[in-house]
Amino acid sequence: MKRNIYTKKITLLSLACGMAFLAFAQQSSFPGYRSGNFTGVNGVFFNPASIADSRYRWDFNLASINIGVGNNNAAYKLSAFKDISGDDLKNKLLSGSKRISASGIVDVFGPSVMFNATPKNSFALTTRLRTIVTVKDLDGPLARGIIDASDGINLPYNISTTRPSTVNVNGWSEYGLSYATILMDKSTNFIKAGITLKYLAGVGNTYVRINNLNTTIANDPVLGSYLSQGTTGNVALGVGGLNITDIKADQFFKFNGNGFGGDIGLQYEWRPDMEKRGRKDLNKYKVKVGISLLDVGAIKYKRDQNKSGTYNVNVASGDRFYLSQLDNKGVNDYRGVLESPLNNPRYFTTQAGNNSSSYTVKLPTTLQANIDLHLNRGFYVALGGQASFRNEKSSSITDPSLYSGITLTPRYEGKSFGVYVPLNYNSLSNFNAGLSLRAGPLFIGSGSIISALLGKTKQADAHVGLRFGILHKKKVVVIPPVVILDTDLDGVVDSIDNCPTTFGLASLNGCPDRDGDGIADIKDNCPDVAGVAKYQGCPIPDTDGDGVNDDEDKCPSVAGIAKYQGCPIPDSDADGVNDEVDKCPNRAGTISNQGCPVIAKEVIEKFNYAAKNVFFATGSFTLLPKSFKSLNEVASLMATDESLLLSIDGHTDAQGADDKNMTLSDNRAAAVKTYLVSKGVSENRVVSTGYGETKPIADNKTAAGRAKNRRVEMGVKNY
C-alpha cells in the first residue's frame, strides 16, 4: 500500500528524500554574486578582509537568503520542476542500487551593517541563520522500505555493507563582530586582512546512522515489508536541542546550544595604475588574490536522552521486524519504537555508555581561495576554489559536511548593476552553470539555472537579497607627484639602486661591473679581472700552477697535467718511471730498461749460447739435430718468464748472389722460430728477420771471417 511521504510529522529519512537535490552545501552560498566588488557588508561572510577599502562608506543588509539542494543520483530539467510530485522525487532519488549522497542548505544573512571607522579600518556587525542537511551513502531500497513499506521495490532485496548510512540535520544562528584593516599600501602592492568573531547559538542537531547492516527486505502481502533472515547491524540516533526535522521558524531564535567560532581572511591586490591611488570609489586592481579560512568553531549541545540511543540489531532467521513500524514516525518517536517491549531486546539491544550527556558539533570549516582578474572597464573573471576540512568522508555523524569544488565566474559589474555567470564543478552534483543579477539594492540568481534550462542538473538553488549603502564618491585627491630620484642617471631609481652615486647596470641593481663577469664591483674582490661568484669575482685559482684550475684539479696542491685532471702522470708500479714512458707500467723496473725489470745476465748468456749453437745443413735452412738441445733451453726460458720477447736474426757471408743470401738468412731465422713455436712458445712473442750479407761482423775475404758472418743472433727483451 502507498503512503504519502509528506506528513505532518516528517521523518528524518523522508526529509532527506523530500529535499530532492540536496547539494548546495558543497558549493559556496550566493554563487556569482559573491565574486563581485559590490557585496557590501555581505562580503564579510565570504572573506572578512573585503570590507577594508570597501566601495561603500557604510552598508546595511536587510535580508538575503540562499537555498540549495542537490544529490549524486537524480537529475531534472527546469521544465520538469513544476510537475514534480513526492512520488516522483522518491522514485528518482531512491531508484537503482546506487547509494545516495546528498546535502542541502538554507543560508540567511539577517540584518547586518558595516562602516568605515577610519580610512584604513572597517567594522561590521552581522547576523546569520543556517541549516545544513547531510545524507551519506543512503541505501535507496532500504529508505523506500521504511517510507512505503513494500511499494516499488523488487523483493526480496539483500543488503550487506560495512559502509555506514548517515543522515544529519543542523541548524544554528550566528552573531558576529568583524574587523578589517589595510596592512600595506605601497607603490603597486596593496594588502588587507580581516577577522570575524562569532557567537554560535545552536538551534538543534538531529542524526541517524545505520552501520554494518546485513539483512534481507522481504514482503508480507498483508502487513508490508519487513527485515528478516538473520539481520545484524547497528543503529545510532540522537537529538540535541530542538528536533530540527520538526521545527517552526520562531524556534530558530532559541539558544539550545552554545559555542564560538571565527573567520579570517587576507587579500592582495596588484594596482599598477598609480593615477587611481586614493580613489576609494574605484576598483584599482588588475589582479586580486584572496584566501580565507571560514567556519572555525563548534557548538555544544545537551543530548536529549529520551530521543537518543545506540542499538545493536539482531533479527534472527525466521523472525520479522516490520518496517511499517517506522512509517509516519518522527525521530522523536524512533527510540520508542526501537525500545518497545515488542522489539527490545528481541530485535534491538541498547548499547550502554555510548550516549554522553552532551556532545559537540563542529562547524563546516572550509578554506576558500580565489583570484580575480580585471580585464577591462567593468569586465572581470574570477576563479575560486573551496577545500572542505569536514568533507563527506572525514566528518562525524553529528557534523555538517561540505564538498570541495571550483568555480569560474566571468562577470560584468558597475556601481549599480552586475551580471555574473558562475560555472561550478563539485564532487557531488558535478558541473553546474548559473546566472546572478544585481540591480541597485536587489540581487537575485541561481548557481544551476543555466544547466537546468539547457539540460539536466542534480542541483537546484536560488538566492535573493536586499541591501543598501552609501558608496564613496569621487574626490579630487591631490597626490603630490612622485619624484623618482636617479642620482647617477643609470636608469635605476635610487630607492632600489645599491650604488646610487655610481653609474651601473640595471641587472646588477645599479652597480658597475668593470670586468664584465656579472658580479657587481662592490662584491667583486677582483674587479678588473673576470672571475666567478664562487670566488668573490676572482678567477678560479690554480694553487699548484700547473695550468689546471682548482675546480677541475683533482690534485690542486701538486702540479700535474690536464690529461690527468691536474694530477702528476701516474707511476702505477712505483718504479720511478711514469706510465707515459714506462714500457711495463704494472711491473716495477728500472729507468735504464724503460721501466721494465732488468733481465738477468745469466738469462741473456743462455740465449747467446743457444744462438751460437744453432746449425743448419750446408746451403740449406734445415736445422741439424745438434741444435735442438740449445733451442729447447730457449723454449724453457720463454715458458718460465712469459714477459720475455725474442728476436731471431739470420745472417750469411758474402759468397753467392745477394738475393739468394737474403732469402737463405730469412728462411733460417724463420726455421728457428718455427721450432720454438712447436715447443709451445707463442708465435706473437717471437720475431724472425733475415739480413743476408748486409751486417757482417768479420772480413768476408777470409775463410775465418766468412765463418763468423754465417750466424744466428738472438735478442731478448721484456717490453
d(CA 101, CA 407): 21
Q: What is the DSSP letter of 505?
A: B
- Range of 52-61, 76-85, 225-234 with top mean pLDDT: 52-61
Band of residue 271 on the pLDDT scale cut at 50, 70, 90: very high
CATH for 43: 2.40.160
First vs last C-alpha separation in the chain: 111
Going from the C-alpha of 366 to that of each of 103, 207, 345, 427, the distances in angstroms are 16, 22, 43, 15
d(CA 175, CA 105): 19
**Digit-coded pLDDT (tens) for 192-205:** 999 999 999 999 99
Phi, psi of 114 (to 5 degrees): -130, 155
β-strands 645-651, 686-690: how paired?
parallel
Q: What is the DSSP letter of 232?
A: E
Work out the number of other CB atoms within 10 angstroms of the CB of residue 255.
13
- Strand, helix or coil for residue 183: strand
Give pLDDT, residue 150.
Answer: 46
- pLDDT of 85 higher than 70: no
Band of residue 18 on the pLDDT scale cut at 50, 70, 90: very low
d(CA 560, CA 554): 9
Averaged pLDDT, 154-181:
87
Residue 26 lies in a domain: yes
Output the DSSP codes for 402-448: ---EEEEEEEEE-SSEEEE--EEEETTTEEEE-EEEEETTEEEEESS
- Range of 90-104, 487-501, 673-687 with top mean pLDDT: 673-687
Among 419, 449, 468, the domain boundary falls at: 468
Q: pTM of the full predicted structure? A: 0.62
Residue 189 lies in a domain: yes
- pLDDT of 328 higher than 80: no
Band of residue 261 on the pLDDT scale cut at 50, 70, 90: very high
How many domains in the chain? 2
β-strands 686-690, 99-109: how paired?
unpaired
d(CA 216, CA 156): 6
Among 452, 468, 484, the domain boundary falls at: 468
d(CA 160, CA 155): 15
**Digit-coded pLDDT (tens) for 99-154:** 778 888 999 999 999 999 999 999 999 999 999 998 888 776 666 656 554 455 57
- pLDDT of 74 higher than 80: no
> Do 462 and 611 belong together in one domain?
no
β-strands 257-270, 224-241: how paired?
unpaired
**Digit-coded pLDDT (tens) for 550-564:** 888 899 988 888 888
CATH for 666: 3.30.1330.60
Band of residue 93 on the pLDDT scale cut at 50, 70, 90: low
Band of residue 58 on the pLDDT scale cut at 50, 70, 90: very high
Residue 569 lies in a domain: no
Burial of 465 (0-12, 13-18, 19+ CB in 10 A): buried
Residue 572 lies in a domain: no
Q: Which residue carries 573567520 as its cell?
A: 263
Residue 667: give the domain boundaries.
601-717
Query: Which of 88-97, 336-345, 409-418 is predicted least confidently?
Result: 88-97
More confident residue, 686 or 150: 686
Residue 530 lies in a domain: no
Among 468, 488, 522, the domain boundary falls at: 468
Residue 131 lies in a domain: yes
Residue 366 lies in a domain: yes
Residue 593 lies in a domain: no
Give pLDDT, residue 553.
Answer: 87
Non-local (6+) Cβ contacts of 288 within 8 A are 267, 268, 269, 270, 371, 372, 374
d(CA 649, CA 668): 9
State the amino acid at position 359 in one-letter form.
Y
More confident residue, 62 or 487: 62
Residues 37 and 412: beta-carbon distance below 8 Å = no
